[in-house]
Amino acid sequence: MLNNQELWGRRHDRHYVHDRRVFVTAVVFMTAVGVHDCYVFMAPVIVMIAMFIEFCQYLAGHFMQEI
C-alpha cells in the first residue's frame, strides 16, 4: 500500500516538472514573440477573468442578501 502511494507521488512529481517545463517554454515563447503581441493576446483573457471574478462577487452578494 505504501509502495503504491510512493509510486504515485513520484509520478505526480514528474507531471509537476513537466508542467513547469511547459510553463517556462510558454513564457520564453511569448517573450520571443514580443511583449506587445503577448499583451494583445492576453488582454481578452485578462478581461474574461476579471468579468468572471466580478460575476462571482455579484452572485455571492446576491446569495448573502437572500440569506
Question: What is the rounded (10 degree) CA torsion for 35, 28, 22, 40?
Answer: 10
The secondary structure of residue 8, as a DSSP letter, is H
Number of domains in the chain: 2
Q: Do 23 and 48 fall into the same domain?
A: no
Phi and psi, residue 59, nearest 5°: -65, -45
Q: Do 28 and 39 fall into the same domain?
A: no
Q: Do 59 and 39 fall into the same domain?
A: yes
Q: How many Å apart are CA 63 and CA 43, to the nearest integer?
A: 30
pLDDT digits (tens, 9 = 90+) for 10-27: 555 555 556 677 778 877
Q: Do 61 and 51 fall into the same domain?
A: yes
pLDDT at 52 (0 to 100)? 93
pLDDT digits (tens, 9 = 90+) for 28-65: 776 777 666 666 777 788 888 889 999 988 888 877 77
Prediction pTM value: 0.36
